[in-house]
């Protein structure tokens, strides 16, 4: 994130003395990407950020991946999954994944533990509900439709608000997640053709200070998980500045790009990671050529798997397939996909699509997590032909 922000108390010059009211020094910590060659922020702690008093293994939720074999498109029903007394971190269930990205889902009512992902950035989409995301940088109030971008190693926790479950769709990268480069100037400012800009991003506005001793932080890292016990509360940052921090962006603030004929999926892109992109489809005016076909044409993404999470509205191209709110469609590379039978004809003359969906395209094949296997309806692959292997011709 290249948009500079300053929060709380910092000294006028970097790497100079910043003293506490009692005369002692605050501990300065640089949090930076790609060594010292990319975005960073400077944080000023009351305690020593490196201090540990204990560490023990943390058994992660089931991370098993099973190849998509036989290779078929799939419909995964996330709302059919069960979650008991779950929190938004340890209660995540793995739906899909590969070496670059893992997609999980949760429906939570309890606060998460303090948590740090040491593998990569997270993009968490809030499908339903609201929460406070407490972080070492400060707090974010988030709700339905928010993307929450949490940089790698950021200590944070989710605190759901209200009686209804907080439903979140977590996209966990093995890299960093950022706006697409084509939306940005060479200095990092959003360009005029970008479908969103700096004004749409919400970052922490004040420090979040807490007291406590021997606090547990759940750390996800390559090879498993570890619980670190720190002597003082991790939320001890009196101030920070820089260009790396958690922020929220609401899908309703994405300005759709439309045209006279059907626009390809890259116009819907919102974020990018290494070997994957995140797009969103929002309510919008559709193609206005007099002979336009508003629904997508059949297409073979030979280099990518396509994952569509259907959040709201009526997804015209999938009508009749069984897909609805809370569904995922997985269209793997190597298989052509497109609208269901009858969708093209029904779309002719339509001027507006009322749909909200989050799409992830990966450039390496996706495998099925334990939740993906459980949520598979087993029928979607035959929805274009109208019959499957057990149905006579």
Q: Which of 203, 283, 294 is nearest to 251 (CA)?
A: 283
Cα separation, 53 vs 70, in Å, equals 49
CB neighbours of 319 closer than 8 A, spacing ≥ 6? 340, 342, 343, 346
The strand pairing partners of 41, in sequence order, are: 31, 242
Q: Does residue 18 have a known ligand-binding role? A: no
DSSP strand pairing (122-128 vs 166-173): antiparallel
**Cα→Cα distances 321→305, 317, 346, 379, Å:** 19, 9, 15, 9
Helix (H) or strand (E) holding 344: helix 343-347
Q: Does residue 315 have a known ligand-binding role? A: yes
Q: Do 105 and 371 contact (CB within 8 A), yes or no?
A: yes
Q: Do 129 and 85 contact (CB within 8 A), yes or no?
A: no
Q: Does residue 44 have a known ligand-binding role? A: no
User: Is 262 in the active site?
Assistant: yes
Q: Which of 165, 19, 6, 202 is nearest to 78 (CA)?
A: 165
Q: Do 307 and 280 contact (CB within 8 A), yes or no?
A: no
Cα separation, 367 vs 373, in Å, equals 10
Q: Which of 176, 262, 289, 331 is the catalytic position?
A: 262
Q: Which of 64, 62, 24, 58 is nearest to 44 (CA)?
A: 24
Q: Does residue 156 have a known ligand-binding role? A: no
CB neighbours of 186 closer than 8 A, spacing ≥ 6? none
Q: Which of 271, 288, 299, 298 is nearest to 196 (CA)?
A: 271
Per the annotation, binding residues are 299, 306, 315, 337
Per the annotation, binding residues for Fe cation are 299, 306, 337
Positions marked catalytic = 262
């Amino acid at each position: 994130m290249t948009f500079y922000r300053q929060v709380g108390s910092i000294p006028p010059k970097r790497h100079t003395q910043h003293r506490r009211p009692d005369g002692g020094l605050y501990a300065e910590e640089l949090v930076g990407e790609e060594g010292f060659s990319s975005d960073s922020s400077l944080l000023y702690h009351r305690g020593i950020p490196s201090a540990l008093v204990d560490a023990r293994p943390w058994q992660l939720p089931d991370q098993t991946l099973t190849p998509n074999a036989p290779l078929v498109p799939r419909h995964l029903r996330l709302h059919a999954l069960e979650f008991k007394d779950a929190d938004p971190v340890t209660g995540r269930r793995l739906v899909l994944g590969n070496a670059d990205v893992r997609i999980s889902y949760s429906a939570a009512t309890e606060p998460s533990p303090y948590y740090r992902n040491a593998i990569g950035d997270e993009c968490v989409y809030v499908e339903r509900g609201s929460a406070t995301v407490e972080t070492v940088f400060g707090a974010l109030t988030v709700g339905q439709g928010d993307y929450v971008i949490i940089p790698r190693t950021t200590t944070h926790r989710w605190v759901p608000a209200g009686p209804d479950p907080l439903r979140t769709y977590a996209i966990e990268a093995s890299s960093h997640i950022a706006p697409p480069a084509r939306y940005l100037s060479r200095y990092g400012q959003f360009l005029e053709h970008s479908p969103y800009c700096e004004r749409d991003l919400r970052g922490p506005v004040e420090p979040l200070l807490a007291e406590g001793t021997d606090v547990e932080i759940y750390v996800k890292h390559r090879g498993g998980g570890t619980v670190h016990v720190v002597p003082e509360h991790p939320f001890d940052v009196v101030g920070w500045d820089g260009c790396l921090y958690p922020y929220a962006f609401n899908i309703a603030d994405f300005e759709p790009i439309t045209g006279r004929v059907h626009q390809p999926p890259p116009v819907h892109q919102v974020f990018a990671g290494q070997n994957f992109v995140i797009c969103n489809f929002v309510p919008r005016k559709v193609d206005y050529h007099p002979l336009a076909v508003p629904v997508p044409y059949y297409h073979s993404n030979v280099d990518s798997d396509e994952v569509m999470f259907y959040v709201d509205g009526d997804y015209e191209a999938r009508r009749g397939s069984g897909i609805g709110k809370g569904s995922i469609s997985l269209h793997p590379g190597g298989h052509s996909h497109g609208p269901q039978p009858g969708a093209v004809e029904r779309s002719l003359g339509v001027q507006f699509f009322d749909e909200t969906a989050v799409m992830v395209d990966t450039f390496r094949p996706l495998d099925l997590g334990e939740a993906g296997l459980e949520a598979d309806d087993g029928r979607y692959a035959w929805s274009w032909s109208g019959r499957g292997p057990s149905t006579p011709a």
